[in-house]
Amino acid sequence: MINVSRVQEDGYPMFADLPPLGETGERHAWDVWGRDDQLGSLNWLRPEKVRAACQLVRTGEVIGLGCSLNQPDPGPFTHRSPYRHVVDRGRQGRDDRIDGLYLQYGSQWDGLRHIRFREYGYWGGRQEEDLDSTDDLGIDHWARRGLIGRGVLLDMVQHTADRGGALMPTSRQAFSPDFLDEVADAEGVEFQGGDILLIRTGWMEWYLDLAPEARGAMQGRVGARDEPLASPGLDARQNTAAWLWDHRIAAVSSDNLALEVLPVRREEGFLHFRIIPLLGMPVGEMWILGELAAACKKSGRYDFLLASGVLNVPNGVGSPANAYAVL
């Protein structure tokens, strides 16, 4: 297993030293950078981390990590529908607009306005009236600095196959901290503070290969009580939140629906609640990671420069990821 004791050298508390939130047993990082902080764990992406990430570029190969803006269609969420692209033609050329665009439709980031933790509120303890009356936690705060740093890919699909198994997109397989360490060790990855972690499950590749009617049959099954949608993902329990914090992960994304394993189990909790409002950590979902995985396997390197430019939407809750890996 990877030794994370070194991360204490940065002067920040370990997860076990973060204060508990009321009687919930959950821990929060609201006072690490101050209650008025807008960036959350993106504070780990200090200039020296960005500079070091730029040194990872060897070949200059650029790999896009997002699906087209109108995919997946139909999507698995009934309340999010594809946008309508309108093109206006005139004598001098064309203009266009997008109507009805859900900023968290396809390959996306969940921002700090997306999830609150019970009555305790959003990142920093902010309440609904705080978000209604200020620009606090809008994704535009991230847009002004970008999500740029060292990306690390943990390819759960390839690791499982290398050991004679198969990671099934419709199975509820939870990736524990021990399993994350196991995959990282096999890939030769050593985590560094400020990493942007990508988790490949193969879910989006599988989903986009399905016939439209098969995709349509899955709509509304996320969170359903009867026959809910199942997919592999991060273990939702508190020790996963601790692992992410103690490794100083700046942001974490996957190619599945919710980053964490589905369906959610009440007794395990919801990882979104633990890492977005309590640790200030960006969560990415439905990225496209197959091409990147193939390039990493070929080169034997699983770290790279990652650049993601979110939309500069004041008070925005989320954004298309617009992410690229540069090898």
CATH 3.50.30.50 describes domain 10-326: yes
pLDDT tens readout for residues 29-82: 999 999 999 999 999 999 999 999 999 999 999 999 999 998 888 877 767 788
Q: Which of 150, 175, 284, 292 is nearest to 231 (CA)?
A: 175
Residues in the chain: 327
> Span 104-121, mean pLDDT?
96
As a whole number of angstroms, the distance between CA 185 and CA 152 comes to 12
**For position 72, what pLDDT does the model report?**
85
**For position 86, what pLDDT does the model report?**
94
As a whole number of angstroms, the distance between CA 279 and CA 192 comes to 18
Which pairs from 25-28 meet CB under 8 Å and 24+ separation? 25/238, 26/117, 26/238, 26/273, 26/274, 26/278, 27/238, 27/241, 27/278, 28/120, 28/278, 28/279
State percent of the chain over pLDDT 90: 86
As a whole number of angstroms, the distance between CA 36 and CA 301 comes to 38
Residue 8 — pLDDT band, cuts 50, 70, 90?
low
For residue 299, give the H/E element and its range.
helix 290-299
**For position 149, what pLDDT does the model report?**
98
Residue 323 · residue 107 · CB < 8 Å? yes
**For position 1, what pLDDT does the model report?**
36
> Span 212-239, mean pLDDT?
85
**For position 2, what pLDDT does the model report?**
35
**For position 11, what pLDDT does the model report?**
86
As a whole number of angstroms, the distance between CA 223 and CA 221 comes to 6
Every domain of the chain and the residues it spans: 10-326
Check the CA dihedral 131-133-136-138 and report its sign: positive
Contacts of 72 (CB under 8 A, 6+ apart): 106, 204, 207, 208, 215, 286
- Provide the token pair at 133: 């009356």
Residue 275 · residue 241 · CB < 8 Å? yes
**For position 260, what pLDDT does the model report?**
97
Residue 67 · residue 56 · CB < 8 Å? no
As a whole number of angstroms, the distance between CA 248 and CA 250 comes to 6
> Span 315-326, mean pLDDT?
97
Instruction: Write down the number of H helices and E strands in the chain.
Output: 10, 13
- Provide the token pair at 232: 């592999």
**For position 73, what pLDDT does the model report?**
83
Mean pLDDT taken over the chain = 93
> Span 234-261, mean pLDDT?
97
User: Please, is 201 exposed, middle or buried when counting C-beta atoms within 10 Å of its C-beta (0-12, 13-18, 19+)?
Assistant: buried
pLDDT above 60 (res 279):
yes
Q: In one letter, which amino acid is 102?
A: Y
pLDDT tens readout for residues 119-130: 999 999 999 999
pLDDT tens readout for residues 160-208: 999 999 999 999 999 999 999 999 999 999 999 999 999 999 999 999 9
Backbone angles phi, psi at 102, to 5 degrees: -80, 120
pLDDT above 80 (res 26):
yes
**What's CA 87's distance to the chain center, in Å?**
32
pLDDT above 80 (res 227):
no
> Span 150-160, mean pLDDT?
98
**For position 5, what pLDDT does the model report?**
45
> Span 4-13, mean pLDDT?
65
**For position 7, what pLDDT does the model report?**
44
